[in-house]
Amino acid sequence: MVKSLFVALGLAAVLACCKCSAVHAAPRTVALDVTGMTCVTCPITVKKALSRVDGVEAVDVSFASKRATVTFDDAKTSVNALTKATADAGYPSTAAAGAQP
């Protein structure tokens, strides 16, 4: 009885420790300059490409400013993966000034 109590307490301590040390992802937002958009339907393709990237939570694409604003889980994806997604869709992009890759 006492032995199983110690085992249970030890297991609980290990699980609690694992939860404390787990890396928690932070949502991050980045602006991408997508200068190759030439018509009002281009943002649809850019938005679809970005939305398909695992970890992307929200996408807003503006034809007028030629910019995509993306909110994503930085534990699942990166700015480099986002710019690759737009390039693969035919719309190369770069992180706007001040954005970190």
State the pLDDT confidence band at 97, using cuts at 50, 70 and 90.
confident
Q: Please state which CATH class domain 24-95 belongs to.
A: alpha beta
Whole-model pTM: value is 0.73
The percentage of the chain sitting over the pLDDT mark of 70, rounded to a whole number, equals 71
Lowest mean pLDDT, pick from 5-9, 32-36, 96-100: 5-9
Residue 2 reports pLDDT greater than 70: no
The percentage of the chain sitting over the pLDDT mark of 90, rounded to a whole number, equals 69
What pLDDT does residue 14 have? 46
Euclidean distance between the first and the last CA atom of the chain, given in angstroms as a whole number: 55
Tokens, residue 20: 């404390």
- CA torsion sign for 15, 19, 23, 28 is positive
Helix (H/G/I), strand (E/B), else coil: 93: coil
Sequence spans of domains, the chain? 24-95
